[in-house]
Structure 1
Amino acid sequence: MGCVVSSKSKGEVKKIRKPKPWKLPQVITQSQLMQMREEFWDTAPHYGGRTEIWEALRAAAEADPDLAQTIVESAGVIVQGADLSICYDERGAKYELPKYVLSDPTNLIQAR
């Protein structure tokens, strides 16, 4: 478990990227999306794992991909896929991030 991120069969490190475009079942506004994100991050430590890893994952999720790469490497986070949706800490604790904290849905609307 000494690696920082998952690697391809040739030993290449996967670069962190935003998830592919996705759509919520219902149309939501930016403020509703922000509320969903805040609720997730407020409750995330209660799902298990270490608080400092949750904080690093939040910082990575809110950063551009290059900075996110640096954050997860510095925190010792092991990324299963390149989009940060499933990660592990060095002790093997699993951290699952929903798409709505990683990127905006395609059916996001502006409030009037």
Structure 2
Amino acid sequence: MGCGGSTDKSDDGTLKRLKKPKPWRHSEPITRAQLKKMREEFWDTAPHYGGKAEIWDALHAATEAQLELAQAIVDSAGIIMTSEDMSVCYDERGAKYELPKYVLSEPANLVKDH
């Protein structure tokens, strides 16, 4: 990825587009409520990791949107994706934004709330 935007060409010359994250498992089964709490804690503290608040806001919105809308959000915010699942992104000034798996998708071992 270059630094022109999220739709820069990948190494094979095709445009890099958002894709559904790969399946993953949490270290132990968790409930939807626990996952929600983890996500809320991450997004509450994310701006403290550095970068711009508006980029964190755009990433947050993109993680909660369907793929097409998420792609539009990323493109309009000028976010540079180095991974197709948004786990590692940069803003136009080169600040790095790392997103944990649990904000990108649900784990395979999600259990029903009690």
Q: Which of 85, 88, 92 matches 2:87? A: 85
What is the match of residue 32 of structure 1?
A: 34
2:68 corresponding residue in structure 1: 66
Distance of 2:112 and 2:94 partners within structure 1: 40
Which segments of structure 1 move beyond 4 Å, counting only runs of 4 or more? none
Gap runs ≥5 in structure 1: none
Alignment RMSD, CA only? Answer: 1.1
Conserved? CA contact 2:30–2:109, under 8 Å? yes
Percent sequence identity is: 59
Structure 1 length as normaliser, TM-score?
Answer: 0.95
Please list every run of 5 or more consecutive structure 2 residues that lacks an aligned counterpart in the other structure.
none
Q: For this pair of structures, how many residues does the alignment match?
A: 112
Q: Which residue of 2 aligns with 1:101?
A: 103
- State whether residues 5 and 75 of structure 2, in contact with CA within 8 Å, keep that contact through their aligned partners in structure 1: no
Partner AA of 2:67 in structure 1: P
